[in-house]
Amino acid sequence: MLLHVRNVLTAAEVAGARGVLAAAPWGEGRLTAGEQAALAKHNHQLPEACEAAQQLQQVVLRGLERNALFFSATLPKQISPPLFNRYGGAADRFDDHVDSAVRYLRNGAGRVRTDISCTLFLTEPEDYEGGELVINDVSGEKRVKLPAGDMVIYPGTSVHRVEPVTRGYRTASFFWIQSMVRSDEQRRLLFDMDAHLRSLRGTVGETQPAVVGLTGTYHNLLRLWADV
């Protein structure tokens, strides 16, 4: 499932992040890519251990924590520490690639299976040319370029690329999620059911027996499919 999650960060948080990123010690992006992806990757990235990255990770994680739509869509078991990249100048693109299935965390802190890929945009679309995230889906290519503070989530299984940035710089945060529900199809069913239930609660109220019953069915499906 490909989903646009709006306002993960507030305008003030984005502005703060942009300030930190402007003064940050950018390094070569390909250092954290797998062998095949490294050939395709031409961008800059914040070193994971630097102070700027650590500080901004907390901002992104707080934004995710308060976002109910994000939780409903991803059912996160583990979120890899958010990373930060920049496209522009000579380091302007990331050609077609697939993300590694398993991400090994720094300092032997464990592993994250990359069920879901996330890109959180930190630059307003009018501030750069190009830089669309292009995701190959069964139904064709999806081209994604979102307002700063908004995020796209998409299946980790997809071939994707970032188009060359031909003017300005595009900064973003990217990370992966290991979901409690491994199957994209099952996650989608739960997401849809949760959305319909929220709408029902709004119209007929929380205490209708059918609403209580269906809420039970949602949780029973989650219990059946979740690995916690």
What is the contact surface with Ni ion in residues (CB under 5 A)?
99
Q: Closest CB to Ni ion among 48 and 99?
A: 99
Please give the Cα distance from 215 to 228 (Å, whole number).
20
Q: How far is the CB of 25 from Ni ion (least distance, A)?
A: 22
Residue nearest to Ni ion (CB): 99
Q: How far is the CB of 153 from Ni ion (least distance, A)?
A: 13
Q: Closest CB to Ni ion among 99 and 194?
A: 99
Residues whose CB falls within 8 Å of the CB of residue 129, separated by 6 or more in sequence, listed in order:
165, 166, 167, 168
Q: Closest CB to Ni ion among 99 and 150?
A: 99
Q: How far is the CB of 60 from Ni ion (least distance, A)?
A: 17
Q: Give strand pairing partners of 152.
A: 4, 119
Ranges of H-type helices in 110-183:
none
Q: Closest CB to Ni ion among 103 and 187?
A: 103
For residues 102 and 112, the answer to whether their CB atoms sit within 8 Å is yes
Torsions phi, psi for 150 (to 5 deg)? -95, 160
Q: How far is the CB of 37 from Ni ion (least distance, A)?
A: 7
| Three-state DSSP class for residue 3 | strand
